[in-house]
Structure 1
Amino acid sequence: MTTFLHRHALASIVLAQLFGTSLWFSVNGVGLSLSRDLGFSEADLGRLTLTVQAGFILGTLSIAASGLADRFRASRIFAVSCLLGALLNAGFVLAADAPVASLLLRFATGLCLAGIYPLGMKLVIGWTPTHKGAALAWLVGMLTLGTALPHLLRGTTLGLPWEWTLLGASLLALAGGGIIHLLGDGPHLPPPAGPTRLQEGLAGLRAPRFRAVAGGYFGHCWELYALWMLTPFLVARELGRLGAPMDLVPWLSFGVIALGFLGCVGGGELSRRLGSLWVARRALATSGLICLAYPLLYGAPPGLLLVLLGIWGLTVIADSPQFSALAAATAPHARVGSTLAVMNAVGFALTIPAISLTTSLWAAQGGWVLWWLLPGPILGLWAMRRL
């Protein structure tokens, strides 16, 4: 088994990433069931997502500042994070109707995700040093599929209690951790750099080209996770207008978000010929135009809006791996690690007000709430104007 995994290291890592990141939006996958059975509002679901984001940010900064990833094997941190995350995610089943406990469990799950997604990038570097760009596109694509996976799990367990979906995500995370435990670290990992000094990362923002890339990435983050959070609500509205069964909501929500996988991989192939900047700009501009147009077309035929939502899901994440590649290329060489850690932390921090704002206003504003996401693409493109 170990020899097989070593022979297919990249495939093993991206599969484990898919399974591990299914914990991220596991609760959102059963959001409609929680609303029906436990009376959760859109704002309640938004708060649960916010706590995951907050845990991920704190975990990422803690791992970077402590040098934890340099003192322990990346594969071990990944596997332990999957194990703990799976247990915490399963614990939500018992605490869903206890507001404080459920929020704490989701926050702790976010902490565990900080040992899965970023460490997956490190594992890719260790196993595929000559194909980082293409491998990164696959890795972000699997993060996208992992985000969508709880909706697919819910679709396949319709008629069963919503708890089965969360337990299914936990089992997948355990499998992902097991794969990486058997795979181990690659032979090409760079030497330990010691604990990251986060103040050096902030200083890295003084570099004009990196600051421009970071600005584009921040705008991308403002839009991305809030859209993923709202996707089931947008899908449910159009199905309601069609008179279609609500059982289709998880299937179509999975489809919309999962299309981002094709956007990542397709963008990665285009970047080989046209460059990462070309792909990032056009993906961000396309998602921004859809963000502008969607509320204006709110009375259009439901099928048209579902197609438009699918195109949005395709393009909204396609720029993410390209921003990562651009950031690595433009960050000050002496402090790449700290600079990227700060950029990622700031980007994910911006998802918190975006999700909070849109979910709290959804009941009052409906589809018009999407315009609150529009500043992300606009300001991101403006920041990139001189690249």
Structure 2
Amino acid sequence: MDDQAAKPADAVDDVVDESLDDDEGLFHMQESALTYFGADFDVRGLVQRLNDGDIVIPRFDPDESDGASLDGFQRRPVWNKTRMEKFIESLLLGWPVPSIFMVLDSDQRYLVLDGQQRLTALQRFYDGYYPDGKEFALTNVAEHLQGSTYETLGPDSKRRLNNTFIQATVIEPSGDDGPESVYRLFDRLNSGGVSLTAQEIRVALFLGPAINWVRDLNTNQDWRNLYGPPSQRLKDHELILRSLAMEEVVSRVGGRWDDDSVRISAYRPPMSDCLNSFLTRNRSLTGLDVDSFTRAFNGSCHILFQAANRDALRLNNRINAAHVDAVLSSLMWLHLNDQVPDASDLETSLAELRKNERYIEYVTRSTSHRESVLGRLRLALNTLGGRQ
């Protein structure tokens, strides 16, 4: 590991994101945007649906590169063999198990939001192999089940397992606010234990080209030099998404920073809603010039690293999320409009931003509020673009 990767960039103390607190209480959820119903799935039917692709376990691995057919990312294995065996044993003994949460997507597939490890354990047991390729034979279980694989289970035990029902809550979003409502609901359900991050929830809800595009941008070497080692909780993905969304805000403003009607339509708080709306509109990347935006992102990262090395996106030696979205989105806008500064001018401009008291307030206090977002974008664009 090189010096830049000495400390994980997604450690609690390394990424400052005040918008996580700012978002609380700023959103409004429509009652009609979310409906749900209970359903009982037999175990054999669940496994069959998983194998057929009718139930999708979102993939959360930021380094996904195995060419898997499912969109998204695979969470790194959480359950060890013992936990997987204990879950299978509970079903074979007829003990109750927790319910699962799924979302009915527009293509009628079920997306698993809670219950990924349980379903993966079932799929592995029916397949006969652990993730490492070794035979899935029960060992740390009741004596009469020890050594059993799915194929060697006795007829009674196999029927009991096949016919056991697992309860599910199926969420069916409707209307434009549907995905956002699901996001908010799962954020609340997911508040205890080892929870999914906001970006991991987005990966599950917005499967498709836009999510994969962000993943591809995340591999850019200059970005990696600026951010540090890949975030196992996708914080680096979220910062890229924020920068893309904030570039859209800059374009919407179109220089009319003092026009209240433009300001209100250009950015609607909180930040989480803005990011989700961006993904809703651009989920399939239709109508978006992906090649131009990719070049703008790559070029911005390159000149930032040239100008200020790994400190370009940091304040007080820590990555500041609001500083990242202001600087990177402004540079992307400048790239897209053929106004790219040179590295030496950019180094001076970054130093000016760090000395600007208003800018520091915009990136450290109430960073999700409209005044802070538009204030920092305006200052960053004008400063980096050489305007007064």
Q: TM-score band, normalised by the shorter chain?
A: under 0.3
Bigger Rg, which one = 2
Q: Which structure shows the bigger proportion of residues in helix conformation?
A: 1
Q: Which structure shows the bigger proportion of residues in strand conformation?
A: 2
Question: Quick one: higher RCO (CA 8 Å, sep 6+), 1 or 2?
Answer: 1
Alignment TM-score, normalising by the size of structure 2: 0.26
Alignment TM-score, normalising by the size of structure 1: 0.26
